[in-house]
Amino acid sequence: MAATESASHQDSGAYTALDREPLVLNNRSFSWITNRICGIVENKQPFGWWVLFIPSVILTGIMAFCFVYLIATGVGVWGQKQPVDWAWDITNFVFWIGIGHAGTLISAILFLTRQRWRTSVNRAAEAMTIFAVMCAGLFPAFHVGRVWMVWFLAPIPNANAIWQNFKSPLLWDVFAVSTYFTVSAIFWYLGLVPDLATLRDRCKPGIRKMMYGIFSLGWRGANRHWSHYETAYMLLAALSTPLVLSVHSVVSFDFATSVVPGWHATIFPPYFVAGAIFGGFAMVLTLMIPVRSIYGLHDLITPKHIDNMAKIILLTGTIVGYAYSMEFFMAYYGANPFELQTFKLRGLYGPSTWYYYAMFGCNVFAPQIFWIKKMRTNLIAVMIVCMFVNAGMWYERYVIIVTTLERHLTPGSWRVFHATWVDITTFIGTFGFFMMNFLLFLRFLPVIAIGEVKGVTPAADPHAGESHEHGVQEDDAMGYETPASTYPGGVKPAATAA
Amino acid sequence: MSDHHVSFKDLPAGGEKFEPAKASKLIGLFGALGGLGILGSLYFFLNSATRPAFSYSWLFAIFFCFTFVCGGCFWILLHNASNSSWGVVIRRLFENLGVLAIPLGLLAAPLLFKPVNEHLYEWMNHHRTAAAHAAEHHTTVAEALHHMSLENPHLHPLVEKFGYLNNSTWFSWTTRFVAYFGILGFIAFTLRNKFLCQEKDGAIKHTIRARQFACITLFPFALTVTFAAVDWLMGLDYLWFSTMWGVYIFAGCAWSSMALMLLLVSYLRGLGYLQKVVTMEHYHLMGKLLFAFTVFWAYIAFSQYFLIWYANIPEETRFYFIRNTEGWRWVSIFIVIGHFIAPFVVLLSQPRKKNPKVICAIALWVILMHLVDIYWNVVPERAPSLGVDSVLVPNAWVGDIVALCAVAGTLGYLYLRSLGANSLYAWRDPRLIESINVKN
Amino acid sequence: MGVKRSKLPWFVFFGGMAGTCTAFIMETLTQTTFWSDRGLGFLEKIAETYPTVVQAKPTGFVTLPAFFPVMFELTILFSAFTVLFGLLAFIGLPRWNHPLFTSKRFEKFSDDGFFVSIEARDPKFSQEATKAFLEKIGAKNIELVEDDI
């Protein structure tokens, strides 16, 4: 063995490969992976799970109470008054729907771009998407005021044969969000099927086995199944990619199609999408870092994964910064006095400038710390930045929606928005609802895509051991000394004359 | 598709050197086009009757080539910043494309001079009048402009945006003009140099340094593309604005330069180069990226049009208004079909992306449509600005072709000549073997 | 293993087109005079629609851009449903039971094992010869799974 190795070194002496970091550490075997992930579902939940679950259920109850109170009393229990008709509810709607986007990005776009590291986090991120969209959907539904009339949103003519206005961005929203929810659910479920079969095969006969049996659809992993399945999965990824772009674009159309200064900007669609991915990744990390340590998944969600996601946060945070700057620049360059005034009120001397600074600081400046590699692998630093981003993305929507309406075109009716206790508790309640769903997901479904993560282990590589190139690990690359034999003539050139 | 694993031993030591003699026909063609084009351009520039219309031709040709240079820089930045491997075998070709920023800057120089840009940018003429007033009354240009705007309210926006749109402070249109080419050239030269050093000493640190450099310069690059697009195209009508503009131009840059790369790789393979290192997998990957940017461009272009159409604000709609008038309307519709629908449908299928002949035909079409797109962005302003009573300036199309031959011909000639200086691919890049054996 | 590329993409393409058309017809019929302008006014009568000018967007066909978002979303929605149901149809699932589930060793397929099953309906199948062949190539656990039905 040693002899062949040294021989191959000489053959390719002039060449040194830079090795990829492994995505599953410690050379874990297939059955180790199965046991570890299925174990989460099969064993008793750790103490930490209950510590999070019970408050989440309580918060969900509070949220339900708030909505019942709202139905019983009227939307007036929220703080909106003319001219601020869209306030926390729409802010929360955009916030939650944005959170969902990272899930689709990870599952679809990273799949299409062959980013193999996605396998460790895509399942949880997709689940997050679905729960976030559920939270998002609540707000516009109750915002309509008479929630029992919410079926008016569906494309069915009402009693007077009046149809929905298909030219309205609000109706596009209905289509976009419901399509998004449906397609995400299908994508998530299809991905789950083989793993549900694994769980089924491990269960003892009983109600659990029956449920897993039903939901795994009788999957038996035949070669023909996989062939169609992989095509279907690829197709769904290809469909979800434009879908995810369209959803937040349509949400941005709610604002950008109007002639309200501060809302009408052509850059809104990609700017909203980038912001959504940015905020969503922060939420993925917020969820996955605790999951990783509670369930001991350090070999599957490695520092490399966290590092990658931190880099995406840095990138998208900078894109968002570009969009903020572009908006400001065009408000100036466009020389429209109303537009410019809106931005001055947002950022310089309006009643809510505080929100603008919070938005800019949390979204653009906080992630810049990720330029330092140590910060990207330091879990505490990553968590802190993610918290900043979670908050910052909420502020961003608040700035766009509320501070714009507070100072609209008619100064006579200007009014500063004040949130009521119902606004605040409803929003906090949705976090409970979101967490409750996520914890139940951890309890009953495999949190990591077992079948997919096996595919990125070294054992699954059919070419493993075929490559004879001498490789260097990323961490040693900077100080790597090229062997002298590789220089022309076998002599290392004297240190370059400086 | 063979499953054979290519290792370093299978490759020629020192990479593959391109011999310009082998491509003498194409190089000669480009050289001839460029030389004749420049002679023709000199005629059009020096003749005061043709100069107004030809200024637009020149801007069109320069901007068309500029998008490829930007695209070249973008792809190398993306490749390095994202730590990817598949493109190692074609990265050098993009690097050489980015390096063209400097000769392009020299070719673009006529735009800096009054006899040319007075026909292009109306705001400059107002600024010149203001500067004359300022010299007369010993005030600043900004103040003189302000006085002018009291009589002519149309000039008020120019007062508002004086800080950006001016030619009399340090942060002027001219300074930025030089900076754009400087930044692009710096990016491309630096990245190419790092890998050329690597070919000498084999150190991996150059790869890591290139990655760091690319991450840091991505943002300045984005600003360069955006503001170049604002200064040169948006400035044609100083009242019009769109926040999406930079992204729109960028989408076209990435799209067209990927198409050019497909053609170039196929051409080189036809001459016998890159046979071992570029596989059908690379064609497939490039085809997929071409597809992705087809969709991205459509998304951006549609969003921009759609929001302006829906809100219907006069100072914004004028851009589309001009381009929806008479013959231009058909060009607009042709762009929708040819720039998006046709490549979208054709590129959907995987076998088509893996067939070099088909993908080259598509790439050629893509470059043609990109040409139409840039033409559609620049030229419709010409007739209204020059006060011609029609949507087209008669016979100006001759100048457009001459300018295009001059700029594209010269750059093509320089590009092919420059390929011979170094290996066609980074032969000691630590990701080379991974790139050659890529599967997707 | 000689499995052909799935035909699913074709079905999905037409599923998506169906979505686009559904949205187009729904929108133009309810919001525009597109169909009656083409002598198909009876459609408006059947569907009882009254196109009106809303948001300063006329009832003509020029309003088309405003209809793109819904057309796009329904294209994706119909395509996704085609993927789901098409896949299930192609692979013959769901089914509650399968003879293989009675095999003791079968359940390891979903962990870290491989399971080769040769179906009796295979024309080359023969209870003895297949078993002998498998033994010859080194199989250790050969099992005969019988269908109860």
- pLDDT tens-digit series, residues A273-314: 889 889 988 999 999 898 888 888 888 888 888 888 899 899
Longest dimension (CA), chain C: 80
Which pLDDT score is estimated for A493?
Answer: 46
User: Mean pLDDT across the stretch A154-165?
Assistant: 80
> C131: alpha, beta or left, given left = phi > 0 and alpha = psi -120 to 50?
alpha
Q: Amino acid letter at C119?
A: E
Q: Which of B161, B202, B204 is nearest residue A486 as measured by Cβ atoms?
A: B202
How much is the average pLDDT of B316-343?
Answer: 91
Q: What does the pLDDT read at residue A5? A: 38
User: Phi, psi at residue A17, to the nearest 5°?
Assistant: -85, 150
A175: Cβ–Cβ under 8 A, 6 or more apart, which residues? A250, C69, C70, C73, C74
Measured CA to CA in angstroms, residue A485 lies from A5, C19, C39 at distances of 16, 65, 84
B169-203 residue pLDDT tens: 889 999 999 999 999 999 999 999 998 888 888 78
Among candidate residues B337, B291, A256, B292, the one with its CA nearest the CA of residue C69: A256
Residues in A closer than 8 angstroms to B238, CB to CB, are none
CB contact under 8 Å between C12 and A235, yes or no, is: yes
pLDDT band of residue A221 (cuts 50, 70, 90) is: confident
The per-residue pLDDT for B337 is 93
Quick check: is B148 in a domain?
A: no
Nearest to C12 by CA among A202, A186, B33, A495: A186
Q: How confident is the model at residue A490 (pLDDT cuts 50, 70, 90)?
A: very low
> In this structure, are residues C122 and C56 in contact, taking their beta carbons and an 8 Å threshold?
no
State the pLDDT at residue A497: 36
User: Chain C contacts of A227, Cβ < 8 Å?
Assistant: 3-6
Q: Cβ–Cβ of B302/C56 closer than 8 Å?
A: no
Taking only Cα atoms into account, the Rg of chain B, rounded to an integer number of angstroms, comes to: 23
Cβ contact (<8 Å) for C68 and B302?
Answer: yes
List the end-to-end C-alpha distance of chain A, in Å, as a whole number. 43
pLDDT of residue A31: 78
Residue B91 lies in a domain: yes
Contact residues, chain A, for B299 at CB < 8 Å: 242, 245, 249, 269-270
Nearest-CA distance C53 → chain A (Å): 10
If you measure CA to CA, which chain A residue comes closest to C65?
A167
Q: How far apart are the first and last CA of chain B?
A: 12
Considering CB atoms only, which of B241, B299, B304 is closest to A334?
B241
B423 strand-pairing partners: B17
Distance from CA of A232 to the nearest CA of B (A): 15
| Chain A residue closest in CA terms to B231 | A333
Least confident of A190-204, A240-254, A453-467, B245-259: A453-467
Indicate the angle between helix axes A207-215 and A169-202, nearest 10 degrees.
130
Of A114, A257, A323, the CB nearest to B311: A257
> For chain A, what percent of residues have pLDDT higher than 90?
29
CA distance C65 to chain B (A): 7
For residue A138, give Cα distances in angstroms to A221, A253, B175: 38, 20, 52
| Residue A246 clears pLDDT 70, i.e. is over it | yes
Would B29 be classed as within a structural domain? no
Q: Which chains have 3+ CB pairs within 8 A of A?
A: B, C
Token reading at A49: 């799970």
What is the mean predicted confidence (pLDDT) over C79-88?
91
pTM of the model: 0.90
- Can you tell me the distance from the alpha carbon of A313 to that of A283, in angstroms, rounded to the nearest whole number? 11
Looking from the CA of B235 toward its CB, the CA atoms found within 13 Å total 30
Mean pLDDT of the A173-183 span? 92
Q: Indicate the SS3 state at residue B40.
A: helix
Q: Look at the block and give the residue holding tokens 């590009």.
A: B415
Mean pLDDT of chain A: 83
Q: Do the domain assignments include residue B7? A: no
- B318 assigned to some structural domain: yes
Mutation to test the B interface, candidates A165, A266, A400, A463, most B Cβ within 10 Å: A266
How large is the average pLDDT for residues B45-55? Answer: 90
Residue (of B302, B256, B281) closest to B439 by Cα position: B281
Q: State whether B306 and C56 contact (CB < 8 Å).
A: no
Task: Specify the pLDDT at position B168.
Answer: 85
Q: Degrees (nearest 5) of the Cα angle B134, B135, B137? A: 65
**A255 vs A378: CA distance, rounded Å:** 38
Phi, psi of A18 (to 5 degrees): -100, 110
Residue C119 three-state SS = coil
Of A12, A329, A472, the CB nearest to B8: A12
- Yes or no: say if B95 and B72 are a contact pair by the CB < 8 Å rule: yes
Residues 149-208 (B) with a CB less than 8 A from some CB of A: 156-157, 160-161, 163-165, 201-205, 207-208
Q: Is the dihedral of CA A452, C111, A218, C134 positive or negative?
A: positive
Q: What is the structure's pLDDT at B107?
A: 93
Contact assignment for A249 to B299 by CB distance below 8 Å: yes
**Nearest neighbour of A228 by CB, restricted to C30, C87, C95:** C87
The Cα-based distances of B96 to A173, A244, A296 in angstroms read 46, 36, 48
How far away is chain A from the Cα of B352, in angstroms, using its nearest Cα?
17
Residue B346 burial class via C-beta count within 10 angstroms: exposed 0-12, middle 13-18, buried 19 and up: middle
Per the model's pLDDT, the better-predicted residue between C106 and A497 turns out to be: C106
How many domains does chain B contain in total? 1
**Domain for residue B255, yes or no?**
yes
pLDDT, tens digit, for every residue of A11-29?
445 677 777 777 777 777 7
Q: Domain for residue B394, yes or no?
A: yes
What pLDDT does B182 receive? Answer: 94
Q: What chain B residue is nearest to C9 in terms of C-alpha separation?
A: B349
Residue B226 has pLDDT above 50, yes or no: yes
Radius of gyration of chain A (CA): 26
Tell whether the torsion through CA atoms of A194, A195, A200 and A202 is positive or negative.
Answer: positive
Q: ipTM value of the model?
A: 0.87
Contact A15 B202 (CB under 8 A): yes
Contact A232 C76 (CB under 8 A): no
pLDDT at A2 over 60: no
Which residue type sits at B270?
A: G
Tell me what pLDDT residue A4 has: 38
Q: How far apart are CA B66 and CA B234, in angstroms?
A: 15
Residues contacting residue B122 through CB under 8 Å, at least 6 positions apart? B237, B238, B385
CB A115 within 8 A of CB A23: no
Sequence-ordered alpha helix ranges (H) in B10-121 = 24-46, 51-81, 88-99, 101-108, 114-120
pLDDT at B393 over 90: no
Cβ–Cβ contacts within 10 Å for residue C80, how many? 27
**Euclidean distance between CA atoms B78 and B95, whole angstroms:** 12
Q: Which amino acid is at A463?
A: H
Please report the sign of the dihedral spanned by the C-alpha atoms of residue C40, residue C46, residue C52, residue C54: negative
CA dist., res. A436 & res. B169, Å (int): 59
What is the rounded average pLDDT of the residues B398-408? 93
Residue B347 lies in a domain: yes
- Of residues B381 and C96, which shows the higher confidence score? B381
**Torsions phi, psi of C57, nearest 5?**
-105, 120
The domain containing residue B253 runs over which residues?
Answer: 49-121+170-436
Please list every residue in chain B whose beta carbon sits closer than 8 Å to the beta carbon of residue A258.
Answer: 311
Q: What is the pLDDT of residue B3?
A: 55
Rounded to 10 degrees, the C-alpha dihedral B156/B159/B162/B166 comes to 80
- Whether B219 has its CB under 8 Å from any CB of chain C: the answer is no
Asked if B10 is an interface residue toward chain A (Cβ–Cβ < 8 A), one would say no
> Is the pLDDT score of A496 beyond 70?
no
Residue B17's SS3 state is: strand
Min distance C143 CA to chain B CA atoms (Å): 35
For residue C4, the SS3 value is coil
3-state secondary structure chain A: CHHHHHHHHHHCCCCCEECCCCCCHHHCCHHHHHHHHHHHHHCCCCHHHHHHHHHHHHHHHHHHHHHHHHHHHCHHHCCCCCCCCCCHHHHHHHHHHHHHHHHHHHHHHHHHCCCHHHHHCHHHHHHHHHHHHHHHHHHHHHHCCCHHHHHHHCCCCCCCCCCCCCCCHHHHHHHHHHHHHHHHHHHHHHHHHHHHHHHHHHCCCCHHHHHHHHHCCCCCCCHHHHHHHHHHHHHHHHHHHHHHHHHHHHHHHHHHCCCCCCCCCCCHHHHHHHHHHHHHHHHHHHHHHHHHHHCCCCCCCCHHHHHHHHHHHHHHHHHHHHHHHHHHHHHHHCCCHHHHHHHHHHHHHCCCHHHHHHHHHHHHHHHHHHHCHHHHHCHHHHHHHHHHHHHHHHHHHHHHHHHHHHCCCCHHHCCCCCCCHHHHHHHHHHHHHHHHHHHHHHHHCCCCCHHHHHCCCHHHCCCCCCCCCCEECHHHCCCCCCCHHHCHHHCCCCCCCC
Q: Does B344 touch chain C (CB under 8 A)?
A: no
Domains and CATH numbers, chain A: 34-462 (1.20.1630.10)
The conformational region for residue B409 under phi > 0 = left, psi -120 to 50 = alpha, else beta, is alpha
What does the pLDDT look like over B65-121, one tens digit per residue? Answer: 999 999 999 999 999 988 888 888 888 899 999 999 999 999 999 999 988 888 999
